[in-house]
Structure 1
Amino acid sequence: MKVVAINGSPRKKWNTADLLNKVLEGAASEGADTKLIHLYDLKYRGCISCFACKKKDGKSYGQCVMDDDLTAVLAKIKKADVVVLGSPIYLANITGQMKSLLERMIFQSMLYDKDHSSLVEKKKPVAFIYTMNVNDERAQDYDYIYKMNERYLKHVFGYAESFLSTDTYQFSDYKKYDTSLFDSEAKAKRHKEVFPQDCERAFALGAKLARTKLEDL
């Protein structure tokens, strides 16, 4: 059992990365081999609309033809048994790095037939962790993002689910930044009381995905 987690946040030691690590800890508790990849360490672009992955009898049919740092990541995703994605919400959407990954990860395997058939032979569960500064109520404004990504990922890979962590703690010291919009004490309290619960949920998610057969999810 191989579980690959992909961090779409520029931070390696904050909310998104912490939750991804908890997912991997949960998977490891069930005996899985785990790996965490940080997208911001890599140099790559999103889909360039060359359609090499769709060319009949082409050498790159079903596979992104671009050769950059994301090529190896796509290969790891292909071999993995479970994939976990993670991104903060910036300006009402996932990060650009994560969006570029999704373009190439999904489009190469999705056919232009009436059913948009998937070329993925090894189906697998894909979970998507979203972290955001807004509260639970405002988080519902982004519901279309979660649902759209879930729809594409489920269609191509077989199963997908979303995980939300809201009202997150952005800085260790709010006094250093111009953030009068926020109640820093309330933020700190929530980070102390609620974020550990999010970490427990993330651990449980990792354990579940590692031990449960795809058809039973």
Structure 2
Amino acid sequence: MQIYAINGSPRKTWNTATILQNVLDGFAESREDALTEMIDLYSLDYKGCVSCFECKRLGGPSYGRCAVRDGLGALLPRILQADALVIGSPIYFGDVSGMLRAFLERLLFPCLVYDKAHSSLAPRKIPTAFVYTMNLPRAAMEERGYPQRLAAMESYVGRLFGSAPRLLHVCDTLQFKDYSRYKMEIFSAEEKARQRELEFPADCRRARELGAALAADAAGEA
């Protein structure tokens, strides 16, 4: 049973990647036949949708598939055959990273049919989850309306892949180890370090639980 974790962060070993790895570990702990893979988007060479509409051309060789041949060309068909998918990103200016946005355009648009029902050409239903990491505390995240802003893309994923994504918001994260090297007066290095020590392990546990839930979803047990 295959699950892919999509890392939309440029940092391959920090908050987002750590949370995603815990989701993969939770999935693997729940399934003896689990196959897990982390995909770092910033290691790939690609761009967002170029609006060629070859995926919509009736009778065309790329109907229902992205026609662009770049770093995503071989990856997108594999992901569409996954048993589960978890998508992770840091929050930049209230939204996901640019690389993740470009990836989602390329993954989702070929699946979306412009008929009255807004049908899906996804080859199978895929249980999905989004995990977000951000330096804002949870109360500030809610006050600024981040969940509502992020819900638009979540709804497309849910509609096209068959069910609403599960969600995990990881807040008040440690951005780096030594705050003294950067102009960061609005943050307290001591409070950030304390948050990392006390709360981040709990976030990792929740990520493992999320992985187990995705395994149950994929097995039809939820």
- TM-score for the superposition, normalised by structure 1: 0.96
Give secondary structure in 1 for the equivalent of 2:151: helix
Give secondary structure in 1 for the equivalent of 2:80: helix
Counterpart residue type for residue 211 of structure 1 = A
Match of 2:195?
A: 190
- Work out whether residues 95 and 150 of structure 2, in 8 Å CA contact, stay in contact via their aligned partners in 1: no
Deviation at 1:215, TM superposition (A): 5.3
Deviation at 1:10, TM superposition (A): 0.2
The equivalences for 1:1-217 within 5 A come to 1-30=1-30, 31=32, 32-140=34-142, 141-159=145-163, 160-213=165-218, 217=222
Measured in 2, the distance between the counterparts of 1:151 and 1:3 equals 20
Deviations along 1:81-116, one digit per CA (max 9) or x if unpaired, are: 001100000111110100001101111100001111
Deviation at 1:216, TM superposition (A): 5.0
Measured in 2, the distance between the counterparts of 1:148 and 1:167 equals 23
Measured in 2, the distance between the counterparts of 1:112 and 1:83 equals 24
Counterpart residue type for residue 25 of structure 1 = D
Q: For the structure 1 residues 213 and 9, does the alpha-carbon distance in structure 2 shift closer, same or farther, using more than 3 Å as the test? A: closer
Deviation at 1:213, TM superposition (A): 4.3
User: Where do 5+ consecutive residues of structure 2 fail to align?
Assistant: none
Measured in 1, the distance between the counterparts of 2:78 and 2:65 equals 13
User: Where do 5+ consecutive residues of structure 1 fail to align?
Assistant: none
Deviation at 1:4, TM superposition (A): 0.5
Give secondary structure in 2 for the equivalent of 1:87: strand
Deviation at 1:171, TM superposition (A): 0.7
- Work out whether residues 47 and 102 of structure 2, in 8 Å CA contact, stay in contact via their aligned partners in 1: yes
Measured in 1, the distance between the counterparts of 2:74 and 2:85 equals 14
Deviations along 1:62-83, one digit per CA (max 9) or x if unpaired, are: 0000001111221221121001
- Work out whether residues 110 and 156 of structure 1, in 8 Å CA contact, stay in contact via their aligned partners in 2: yes
Deviation at 1:156, TM superposition (A): 0.3
Counterpart residue type for residue 52 of structure 2 = C
- TM-score for the superposition, normalised by structure 2: 0.94
Deviations along 1:163-186, one digit per CA (max 9) or x if unpaired, are: 100011001111111111111111
- Structure 1: 4+ residue segments shifted above 6 A: none
- Work out whether residues 8 and 97 of structure 2, in 8 Å CA contact, stay in contact via their aligned partners in 1: yes
Counterpart residue type for residue 189 of structure 2 = S
Give secondary structure in 1 for the equivalent of 2:26: helix
Give secondary structure in 1 for the equivalent of 2:192: helix
Aligned length: 217
Counterpart residue type for residue 201 of structure 1 = R
Deviations along 1:165-215, one digit per CA (max 9) or x if unpaired, are: 001100111111111111111111011100100000001111121133475
CA RMSD of aligned residues (A): 1.2
Measured in 2, the distance between the counterparts of 1:7 and 1:161 equals 16
Give secondary structure in 2 for the equivalent of 1:71: coil
